[in-house]
Amino acid sequence: MALTKERKAELINKFGKNEKDTGSVRVQVALLTDQIKALTAHLKANKKDATAKRSLLKLVGQRRSLLGYLQKTDRDEYLKLIAELGLRK
């Protein structure tokens, strides 16, 4: 379920300004989205895993909060990011 170092580095390079840019909103949303996809797949196989479900809801809320901030501060960047990640508004 956890992100591998290689996958995390790949997402940071793709969405960040450089390889050290791990704190920007774009990178954080991309990392959260990858974790959400992994947890969703896990929950499809393990429907009664309440801890994973709670973790998923926390991650979704965190991503929603970051996307809300990005939408308020830089609308064009927000629209570009959700298009790249394949998210709905």
User: Is-above-0.75 flag for pTM?
Assistant: yes
Kindly indicate the confidence band of residue 11, based on its pLDDT and cuts at 50, 70 and 90: very high
Does residue 1 register a pLDDT over 70?
Answer: no
Does residue 2 register a pLDDT over 90?
Answer: no
59 closest CA partner among 71, 76, 75, 42: 42
Are the CB atoms for 21 and 6 separated by under 8 Å?
no
pLDDT tens profile 48-66: 999 999 999 999 999 999 9
Are the CB atoms for 31 and 39 separated by under 8 Å?
no
d(CA 47, CA 61): 20
Whole-number percent of the chain with pLDDT over 90: 91
